């Protein structure tokens, strides 16, 4: 297909507007009405769709709103094994991150379907060929973004393969419900009783740690920037409750609920975003955004006690996540 940028906007009758780019199947804007019925862009966005393709942005490794794969998160040891066969993968400092050098975030996806009627949606696809970035099998991946009349953003990843392979996909949007500044005064709740123990390179050590009475205990809604908050780049094991996480801004009144069929969410709060050309020239301060990367456990291929990330021929990988917006 021609490698040119396509940006498509979806909107519902309540004023919600979602803009998607075919480069990385990326969310490049998400406008949500606040308590004053003003539209707030609740995701960190660059000024233009073309900016996402520029080397000065890509070298930052931010993945703003991108679809991440073949394997979201980290894989250790520079390889993985399937059926006793070892597959070497690109690593930096013994860490393979978000699918390798040319992951799904840097691919031009094909627009498969577009419906701008009621509950509008767009489906994009990409093909990852056998041994691309070291992964076996020809993998066909689809992502569908849909806006509902209930102000839900529905994200569904699906994939099939012709050989056993690893799959772990996610969307990497950065959320700030004020559209600028910091999120330290946002309210946060995560339904999770355990988090993954990590080494110094953020690689899971294979152990689940009870979060009760620790800084990882976010089961009761509280200010994100409470006294024990030092920032997250951590995997929360999600509980059985339907609602997995909740984020709310006292300033705008915007609330976002997170639902998913995935066993975990990597929660990431960068201390500082780099100086880039952000949309509408907004500025961000310390702890300016939060990511909910709903997915399987990082480094599952090298931890037998983690949920399997292997996809076999004849099976279908499905990652469904819903972001529901409201004003309180």
pLDDT score at 3: 86
Q: Splitting the chain (328 residues) into consecutive groups of 10 residues, what average pLDDT does each group show?
A: 86 96 98 97 98 96 97 96 96 92 97 95 98 98 97 98 98 98 98 97 96 97 98 98 98 98 98 96 96 98 96 98 97
DSSP readout, 40-62? EE-B--BSSGGGGGSHHHHTT--
As given in the structure block, the two tokens for residue 119 are 């509950």
38, 40, 144, 151, 294 from 15: Cα distances, Å: 9, 11, 20, 9, 26
Which domain covers residue 313, as residue numbers? 7-182+267-327
As given in the structure block, the two tokens for residue 129 are 């060929």
Which residue among the candidates 152, 172, 186, 257 is catalytic per the annotation? 172
> Is 217 within the bounds of a domain?
no
Which residue among the candidates 293, 315, 316, 320 is catalytic per the annotation? 293
> Is 240 within the bounds of a domain?
no
User: Coil, strand, or helix at residue 279?
Assistant: helix
Q: How far apart are CA 169 and CA 70, in angstroms?
A: 6
Is 5 within 8 Å of 53 (Cβ atoms)? yes
Cα 307 to its chain centre, rounded Å, is: 19
User: Coil, strand, or helix at residue 84?
Assistant: coil
First-last CA distance in the chain: 44
Hey, which bits of 12-128 come out as E strands?
17-21, 26-33, 39-41, 67-68, 74-76, 79-82, 85-88, 95-97, 110-115, 121-128
User: Which residue, among 23, 60, 65, has the nearest Cα to 276 in the 3D structure?
Assistant: 60
> Is 14 within the bounds of a domain?
yes
> Is 308 within the bounds of a domain?
yes
Q: How far apart are CA 84 and CA 206, in angstroms?
A: 20
User: Would you give the DSSP letter of residue 49?
Assistant: G
0.75 cut: is pTM over it?
yes
> Is 200 within the bounds of a domain?
no
Q: How far apart are CA 66 and CA 291, in angstroms?
A: 11
Residues forming a β-bridge with 192:
238
Burial class (CB in 10 A: 0-12, 13-18, 19+), 226: exposed
Residues forming a β-bridge with 154:
146, 322
Q: CATH no. for residue 105?
A: 2.70.98.10
> Is 73 within the bounds of a domain?
yes
Q: How far apart are CA 89 and CA 301, in angstroms?
A: 12
Residue 96 a catalytic site member = no
Q: How far apart are CA 197 and CA 219, in angstroms?
A: 18
List the Cα angle 244/151/106 in 5-degree steps.
75
pLDDT score at 175: 98
Is 301 within 8 Å of 77 (Cβ atoms)? no
Q: How far apart are CA 225 and CA 117, in angstroms?
A: 40
Largest distance between two CA atoms of the chain: 59
Question: How many domains are contained in the chain?
Answer: 1
Residue 293 a catalytic site member = yes
> Is 75 within the bounds of a domain?
yes
User: Which residue, among 259, 214, 267, has the nearest Cα to 239 in the 3D structure?
Assistant: 259
> Is 204 within the bounds of a domain?
no
pLDDT score at 2: 52
């Amino acid at each position: 297909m021609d490698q040119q940028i396509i940006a498509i906007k979806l909107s519902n009758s309540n004023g919600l507007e979602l803009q998607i780019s075919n480069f990385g199947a990326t969310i490049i804007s998400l406008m949500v009405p606040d308590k004053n019925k003003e539209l707030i862009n609740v995701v960190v966005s660059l000024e233009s769709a073309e900016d996402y393709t520029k080397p000065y942005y890509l070298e930052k490794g931010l993945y703003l709103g991108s679809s991440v794969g073949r394997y979201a998160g980290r894989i250790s040891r520079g390889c993985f094994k399937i059926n006793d066969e070892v597959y070497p993968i690109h690593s930096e400092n013994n860490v393979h991150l978000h699918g390798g050098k040319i992951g799904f975030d840097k691919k031009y996806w094909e627009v498969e379907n577009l419906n701008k009627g009621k509950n509008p949606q767009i489906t994009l696809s990409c093909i990852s060929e056998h041994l691309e970035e070291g992964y076996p099998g020809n993998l066909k991946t689809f992502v569908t973004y849909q806006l509902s009349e209930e102000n839900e953003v529905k994200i569904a990843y699906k994939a099939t393969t012709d050989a056993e392979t690893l799959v772990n996909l996610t969307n990497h949007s950065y959320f700030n419900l004020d559209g600028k500044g910091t999120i330290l005064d946002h309210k946060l709740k995560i339904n999770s009783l355990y988090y993954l123990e990590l080494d110094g390179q953020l690689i899971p050590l294979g152990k689940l740690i009870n979060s009760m009475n620790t800084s990882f205990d976010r089961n009761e809604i509280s200010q994100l920037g409470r006294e024990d908050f030092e920032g997250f780049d951590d995997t929360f094991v999600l509980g059985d409750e339907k609602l997995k996480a909740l984020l709310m801004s006292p300033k705008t009144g915007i609330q976002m609920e997170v639902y998913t069929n995935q066993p975990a969410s990597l929660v990431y709060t960068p201390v500082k975003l780099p100086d880039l050309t952000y949309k509408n020239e907004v500025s961000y301060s310390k702890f300016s955004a939060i990511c909910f990367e709903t997915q399987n456990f990082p480094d599952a291929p090298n931890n037998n006690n983690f949920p399997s990330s292997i996809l076999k021929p004849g099976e279908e990988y499905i990652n469904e996540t819903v972001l529901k917006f409201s004003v309180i």
